[in-house]
């Protein structure tokens, strides 16, 4: 921390201390004036202000010392050391405060010319008694200041702990999301390389085109390496690169339909969220069949929600298999959605009304 910043903080601290004790002095001065006025003996403002302000400004001068002692000797387990230290400090500070208050009070009166040195000397004859009686109140005031300091300190530390815990939770969530996202890369790469290997001998030109598309995909993946969310427009651009690879695999069998609401293109979606869903649709809805099939991607904005759907015209879910066995891609997708959105999302599989499987996904709409 720079010297300038430390100096600024020190001045702010002194300003707060001065403002607090000034406000307290004015409060008690006004209270005294009102009290005497109600008794039919209204006092003059000047001596009342001098009396009260000297009393509380003396505490203001001692506040940094008390705060320093409070930081050095915390009243916390084990209690004995802190309590003993402040009992001694309170006994010592209380009479010092009375002496300071008397010095400030009579000094101000001398400067204002309301008393003479002889009158001050006469008043000081009662100083021992004033110090003794004032020390009892001063001892209590010392502990009140100590209690206020401890209260603020515990509140500050609690806030710091909450902030630190929140930061750790955020870092952990980001680490988990990054790990989940990184799992997609080798899984996707393995599946694509497996497809390429099947074409190397049967159709070398197609295999070469798939390798070129894979290179473009990997480049896009690296460009968004540290990004958890992208716009739907960016996600669809990545998906189009992936679909070029699949069209090479199934040139006469794969038909892709896009039904995208333009109002949804700027919405935030998890990076690489659609590719595993489309891959699953092609793998189970298109690949096992000799005939042609389609995959339909739908996106729309409805009442603050982004609705995404990936549908195929394959066999769907059979009656004796109500659930869907989720591989790495789908299980990873489910975990990422839970990490990013908690309960504020929907991710479901169902049979389409006219056959096939549809995956429905709902996310909070954010730009």
Give the per-residue pLDDT at 186.
Answer: 57
> Which of 112, 140, 165 is where one domain is finished?
165
Evaluate whether 52 touches 32 at the Cβ level (below 8 Å): yes
Together in a domain, 30 and 140: yes
Together in a domain, 95 and 240: no
Give the per-residue pLDDT at 3.
Answer: 67
**3-state class of 291 per DSSP?**
coil
Q: How many residues does the chain have?
A: 367
Give the per-residue pLDDT at 180.
Answer: 46
Together in a domain, 139 and 205: no
Give the per-residue pLDDT at 265.
Answer: 92
DSSP letter for each residue of 104-133:
HHHHHHHHHTSS-HHHHHHHGGGHHHHHHH
Give the per-residue pLDDT at 140.
Answer: 92
Together in a domain, 221 and 156: no
| Distance separating alpha carbons of residues 185 and 275, to the nearest angstrom | 11
DSSP letter for each residue of 149-163:
HHHHHHHHHHHHHHH
| Helices and strands per DSSP (H, E), number in the chain | 9, 7
Together in a domain, 258 and 148: no
Count of structural domains, the chain:
2
Give the per-residue pLDDT at 320.
Answer: 47
Q: Is residue 188 in a domain? A: no
pTM: 0.50
Q: Is residue 46 in a domain? A: yes
| Distance separating alpha carbons of residues 303 and 73, to the nearest angstrom | 58
Domain region containing 264: 200-364
Return the closest-CA partner of residue 224 out of 265, 268, 256, 187.
Answer: 268
% helix, strand, coil for the chain, step of 5: 70, 10, 20
Give the per-residue pLDDT at 323.
Answer: 47
Together in a domain, 138 and 224: no
> Which of 138, 165, 192 is where one domain is finished?
165
Together in a domain, 277 and 339: yes
Together in a domain, 85 and 139: yes
Q: Is residue 69 in a domain? A: yes
**β-pair partners for 298:** 259, 309
Together in a domain, 141 and 207: no
Return the closest-CA partner of residue 192 out of 163, 212, 176.
Answer: 212
How far lies 48's CA from each of 26, 29, 56, in Å? 10, 6, 13
Domain of 253, CATH number, reads 3.30.565.10
Together in a domain, 230 and 157: no
Q: What is the pLDDT along the chain (367 residues), one digit of tens a residue?
A: 566 776 777 788 788 888 888 888 888 888 888 887 887 777 788 888 888 888 898 998 898 898 888 888 888 777 788 888 889 988 999 999 989 988 888 888 888 877 777 777 777 777 788 888 888 988 999 999 888 888 888 888 888 877 776 765 655 555 554 544 544 455 566 667 777 776 777 777 777 777 777 777 667 666 666 677 889 998 898 888 888 878 877 888 888 899 999 999 999 988 878 888 888 888 888 888 888 888 999 999 988 899 999 999 888 876 644 445 566 667 777 887 887 788 888 998 888 888 888 999 999 998 8
Residue 15 parent element (H or E):
helix 3-38
Together in a domain, 159 and 204: no
Return the closest-CA partner of residue 234 out of 260, 208, 195.
Answer: 260
Evaluate whether 60 touches 104 at the Cβ level (below 8 Å): no
Together in a domain, 156 and 36: yes
Q: Is residue 176 in a domain? A: no
Q: Is residue 172 in a domain? A: no
Give the per-residue pLDDT at 109.
Answer: 83
Give the per-residue pLDDT at 308.
Answer: 93
> Which of 121, 141, 165 is where one domain is finished?
165
Evaluate whether 75 touches 86 at the Cβ level (below 8 Å): yes
Q: Is residue 50 in a domain? A: yes
Q: Is residue 175 in a domain? A: no
Q: Is residue 190 in a domain? A: no
| Distance separating alpha carbons of residues 99 and 112, to the nearest angstrom | 20
């Amino acid at each position: 921390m720079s010297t300038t910043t430390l100096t600024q903080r020190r001045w702010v601290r002194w300003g707060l201390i001065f403002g607090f004790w000034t406000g307290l002095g004015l409060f008690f001065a006004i209270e005294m004036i009102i009290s005497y006025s109600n008794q039919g003996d209204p006092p003059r403002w000047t001596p009342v202000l001098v009396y009260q302000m000297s009393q509380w400004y003396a505490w203001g001068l001692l506040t940094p010392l008390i705060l320093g002692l409070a930081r050095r000797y915390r009243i916390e387990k084990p209690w004995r050391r802190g309590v003993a230290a402040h009992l001694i400090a309170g006994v010592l500070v209380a009479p010092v405060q009375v002496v300071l208050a008397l010095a400030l009070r009579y000094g101000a009166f001398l400067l204002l010319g309301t008393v003479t040195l002889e009158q001050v000397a006469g008043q000081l004859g009662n100083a021992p008694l004033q110090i003794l009686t004032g020390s009892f109140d001063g001892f209590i005031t010392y502990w009140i200041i100590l209690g206020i300091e401890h209260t603020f300190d515990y509140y500050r530390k609690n806030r710091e702990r909450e902030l630190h815990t929140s930061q750790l939770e955020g870092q952990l969530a980001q680490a988990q999301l990054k790990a989940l996202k990184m799992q997609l890369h080798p899984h996707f790469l393995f599946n694509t390389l497996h497809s390429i290997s099947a074409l190397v001998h049967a159709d070398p030109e197609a295999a070469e085109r798939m390798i070129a598309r894979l290179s473009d995909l990997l480049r896009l993946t690296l460009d968004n390496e540290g990004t958890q969310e992208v716009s739907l427009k960016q996600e669809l651009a990545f998906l189009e690169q992936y679909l070029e690879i699949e069209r090479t695999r199934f040139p006469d069998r794969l038909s892709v339909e896009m039904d995208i609401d333009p109002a949804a293109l700027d919405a935030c979606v998890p990076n690489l969220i659609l590719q595993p869903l489309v891959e699953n649709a092609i793998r189970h809805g298109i690949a096992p069949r000799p005939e042609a099939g389609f995959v339909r991607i739908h996106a729309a904005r409805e009442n603050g929600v982004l609705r995404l759907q990936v549908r195929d015209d394959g066999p769907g879910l059979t009656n004796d298999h109500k659930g869907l066995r989720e591989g790495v891609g789908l299980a990873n997708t489910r975990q990422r959605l839970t990490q990013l959105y908690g309960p504020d999302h929907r991710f479901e599989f169902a049979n389409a009304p006219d056959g096939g499987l549809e995956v429905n996904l709902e996310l909070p709409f954010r730009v």
